[in-house]
Amino acid sequence: MIAVQNVAGTKVAVLGLGRSGRATVRALQQGGATVVVWDDGVPARVQAEADGLEVRDLSKSRSWDGVTMLVTSPGIPHLYPQPHPAIAAAWAAGVPVDNDIGLFFRSFATPDWDSFDNQPKVVTVTGSNGKSTTSALIHYILAESGRPAQLAGNIGRGVLDIEPARDGEVVVLELSSYQTDLARALTPDLAVFTNLSPDHLDRHGGLGGYFAAKRRLFAEGGPDRAVIGVDEDEGRYLANQLSEGPGDDRVIQVSSGAKLEGAAWAVFARKGFLAEWRKGRQVASVDLRGIKGLPGAHNHQNACAAWAVARSLGLGPKAIEAAMQSYPGLPHRSQRIAEANGVAYVNDSKATNVDSAVKALQAFQKIRWICGGLEKEGGLGPLVPHLGSVVKAYVIGREAAGFARQLPGIETEICTTMERAVGRAVAEAQAGETVLLAPAAASFDQYDNFEQRGDDFVAQVRARIS
């Protein structure tokens, strides 16, 4: 647990009592604060009272007497499409609003660090797609190389729930735009930007606001080194903004597909081969094609970003490559769950938007594609040019028929449920094909989250091939 600093003797309000909210309450209490809480869900409030916490309706002006700060959970809107009533009330009362990320960065360093031989470091990873895989891969490489490391943020544990830093430790944080947008303190040692595609536009007032939320980690965070994916204009803009010129190796450019020989320091992948270039010459190369935990060009971009971070932290190419070879992959992200009768089964339930689904479709040949769910803003048009490898689509979700109508030129079957979609795909799949769950949609029409959707896919597959 990271005890929040400089809150002893104060009263702090916490809005939202999910995973991060509960950890925030404990960290504030450990720092000596008195905590009052609110959650829009009745069960969470009942549990808070049972735990001895004071529950206040923070939308009421009288609730702010004596409160010095509001800490809000990342899933709660603080500006667009409209601020939560409690946040608006905090503004009216003149109470500063922060989140657990801001508390972490102001509390992580302690006087104990004075006795360390090697100062701990914080690596942050943000972007639209690949954040989780990149973060987990960095953590895995460090652990396999014997470097003490912790993984937290938008993956695994809440940032305030991790252990205090050890000598020379690296903390790897996956940070979403929801987390970077509001944090009052952002001071990573290394920061990674993977890529950008339209997502969460209602929450950020459009694509510009979405990018601005992620850009804060670099423009205001001031990392010592930045690893920037430059396959989109936003990444190229950000790399240019952070660099002092062609020889500035504080910015490591990363690409999946483009040769970046002109950058002072670059890591790129082309045709399945990773190459690291420094000062105009190649210094390392790795064949990524046989690494089962990192299939497809999108995962090769993740590998390049993780490679760049590991090299920045002083790891050698052989150690990094060895760790990558054994990397098992993350659940629900291009996760190869089974192979039977020459058919591979891949769970990419995390492909919740069109861009991530496109990357999944590009990673495999002869695909029996399970797709559909709660469609996101913008429609499915960008998917259409990438359907060439799809043998047949099995569409799930409450609006399966409408989803299927947006997939011209391929055979589709309206299945609605995962059970029927998997059953039909397993029955029809032939050797050499891949049954791929890459929904290109949110899960909330049928499931609580994408993990539950992926677990259902895995269970349905195993029930039929075991």
Give the annotated binding-site residues for ATP. 127-133
Instruction: State the distance between the two ends of the chain, measured CA to CA, in whole angstroms.
Output: 42
**Interstrand relation of 281-287 and 273-278 (parallel, antiparallel or unpaired):** antiparallel
Domains plus CATH for the chain? 11-98 (3.40.50.720), 103-326 (3.40.1190.10), 335-465 (3.90.190.20)
Q: Label each residue of the chain as H, E or C.
A: CCCCCCCCCCEEEEECCCHHHHHHHHHHHHCCCEEEEECCCHHHHHHHHHCCCEECCCCCHHHHCCEEEEEECCCCCCCCCCCCHHHHHHHHHCCCEECHHHHHHHHCCCHHHHHCCCCCEEEEEECCCCHHHHHHHHHHHHHHCCCCEEEEECCCECHHHCCCCCCCCEEEEECCHHHHHHCCCCCCCEEEECCCCCCCHHHHCCHHHHHHHHHHHHHCCCCCEEEEECCCHHHHHHHHHHCCCCCCCCEEEEEECCCCCCCCEEEEEECCEEEEEECCEEEEEEECCCCCCCCHHHHHHHHHHHHHHHHHCCCCHHHHHHHHHHCCCCCCCCEEEEEECCEEEEECCCCCCHHHHHHHHHCCCCEEEEECCECCCCCCHHHHHHCCCEEEEEEECCCHHHHHCCCCCCCEEEEECHHHHHHHHHHHCCCCCEEEECCCCECCCCCCCHHHHHHHHHHHHHHHHC
pLDDT for residue 466: 77
For residue 292, the tally of other CB atoms under 10 A from its CB is 12
Cα(214)–Cα(199) distance, integer angstroms: 12
pLDDT for residue 292: 84
Name the residue type at position 300. Answer: H
Give the annotated binding-site residues. 127-133
pLDDT for residue 295: 87
Q: Are 385 and 409 in contact (CB under 8 A)?
A: no
Segment-wise mean pLDDT, segments of 10 residues, the chain, 466 residues: 97 95 97 98 96 96 96 95 97 97 97 95 95 95 97 92 96 96 96 91 93 96 97 96 92 95 93 94 94 88 97 97 92 90 95 91 95 89 94 96 95 98 98 97 94 97 92
Cα(167)–Cα(310) distance, integer angstroms: 18
